[in-house]
Structure 1
């Protein structure tokens, strides 16, 4: 009877742990912390209860050797079962995290993708000040059409590697949102800081790339907008995209800042040596 109770405790412990960790990646950081604490408590209580029942079962059969061995075997079997299920649960959670990483990452550049951006907006504070930089490579379509998609992919991979250095956990997030379009979202950035970031990005991206047998000079254009009050993701992306389009129209190596008041982008040149 005690052995059956131990098994029931083990099953209940695993079931409760799985319920607490369901949709774990979609929860807020505070909720995940609370649920993790509850999982630890549930598993500790389950193992503790099984241990007490097992000891009681063992002390009840000290006069009969055969009964003692059976009770000991079932007790150890129950413990082994719950430990196996616990390890299996950890493996399942690890696989979930890997799937989440694959779902949110662009396989070519290693940057966050559109799913990652949606996840960012879902967990972003609506009143937080953000700087949104929309980056587009110049002449990419021509390169892709002339030299082939393989060369285009190599170029995107190289650009993605260059952009990775600007990632800062909790402060700057970089996404690939289209073929040659990238978005950088920086938290708590002023206009001046956003412009400085744009300059650094352009200086890093605008250069000659050696891609197998090809040497290609590639430049970029950047559009900037700063959030004002409550965040509207769609509007911010449209404003940054509009500013980027205006920068592209005036030549390579430029960035444009979207003016909220007049709704007219102001354009600046990276440097005379770059804009060629």
Structure 2
């Protein structure tokens, strides 16, 4: 209501100035009082327009901030589950996607033995590493809970997805310096590729299942889901170390 009133007042002021200006052009010179009133109205109009513009910018900024808070994980700044739901809602029905489901090995043990603070530091470190693999409009990274991350790559086939998984494993399977602790942590990744119409629940279930199969072989490995499970061992630097 307030915004509508401001727009109405601004429009009336500009309309009045237009009529007075047209009268001056046609030789109907306004009296000095009318000219003063027109200038005052014009100044008020500019002020109101400036206030309106400022308010619109403020509202848009607040909306973007709320959207950011709703769609971002507060710990890692990656997209959260709400962000993933938003992605699925706006995804093209038959778009080719590769879904990579990543889980950290022995994360629960770290949390239980060293405390949640150290666990949070590890998640932040891993989240920071994963950010380098995001690509606007092509790859999206989500933390969907605990130590579980999902990478969704658009227009990505199996070979490219496996190469991406390998690069991610090489970057995330390493020693982490977390305050006074130096911990070797590895990850496991499950991969699935969309076939035909997008079914988000099925894709996540397939990728999650493939990830658990990868864990059965040890650390630093990925598995690809394709008409069942195909296990693909990966030689990642340090992956043979005890976990």
TM-score by length of 1: 0.79
**Residue 7 of structure 2: aligned partner:** 11
1:99-110 matches, within 5 Å, as 99-110=66-77
Q: Is the 8 A contact 1:259 1:266 kept in 2?
A: no
Q: Is the 8 A contact 1:246 1:267 kept in 2?
A: no
Work out whether 1:275 is the aligned partner of 2:223: no
Which of these residues, 175, 178, 181, is aligned with residue 148 of structure 2? 181
1:141: Cα distance to partner? Answer: 0.4
1:64: Cα distance to partner? Answer: 3.1
Work out whether 1:56 is the aligned partner of 2:19: yes
**CA 1:249–1:76: 2 relative to 1, 3 Å:** same
1:266: Cα distance to partner? Answer: 2.4
**CA 1:106–1:272: 2 relative to 1, 3 Å:** closer
1:12: Cα distance to partner? Answer: 4.4
1:92-103 matches, within 5 Å, as 92-103=59-70
Paired residue secondary structure (1:269) = coil
1:50: Cα distance to partner? Answer: 4.9
Paired residue secondary structure (2:233) = strand
Paired residue secondary structure (1:111) = coil
**CA 1:270–1:72: 2 relative to 1, 3 Å:** same
TM-score by length of 2: 0.89
Count of residues in Structure 1 that have an aligned counterpart in Structure 2: 234
1:100: Cα distance to partner? Answer: 1.0
Give, in whole Å, the separation in 2 of the partners of 1:247 and 1:275: 14
Q: Is the 8 A contact 1:254 1:275 kept in 2?
A: no
Work out whether 1:223 is the aligned partner of 2:190: yes
Work out whether 1:75 is the aligned partner of 2:42: yes
Work out whether 1:266 is the aligned partner of 2:216: no
Give, in whole Å, the separation in 2 of the partners of 1:63 and 1:134: 74
Q: Relative to structure 2, which stretch is displaced further, 55-64 or 213-222? A: 55-64
Give, in whole Å, the separation in 2 of the partners of 1:208 and 1:13: 64
Q: Which runs of 5+ in 2 are unaligned?
A: none
**Residue 209 of structure 1: aligned partner:** 176
Greater relative contact order (CA < 8 Å, ≥ 6 in sequence): 2
1:97-176 matches, within 5 Å, as 97-176=64-143
Q: Which runs of 5+ in 1 are unaligned?
A: 1-7, 15-45
Q: Is the 8 A contact 1:208 1:216 kept in 2?
A: yes
- CA deviation vs aligned residue, 1:79-115 (integer Å, no higher than 9, x gap): 3112211221122112211211121111111111111
1:240-259 matches, within 5 Å, as 240-259=207-226
Q: Is the 8 A contact 2:170 2:236 kept in 1?
A: no
Higher helix share: 1
- CA deviation vs aligned residue, 1:205-244 (integer Å, no higher than 9, x gap): 0000000000000000000000011110000000000000
User: Aligned Cα RMSD in Å?
Assistant: 2.2
**CA 1:272–1:53: 2 relative to 1, 3 Å:** closer
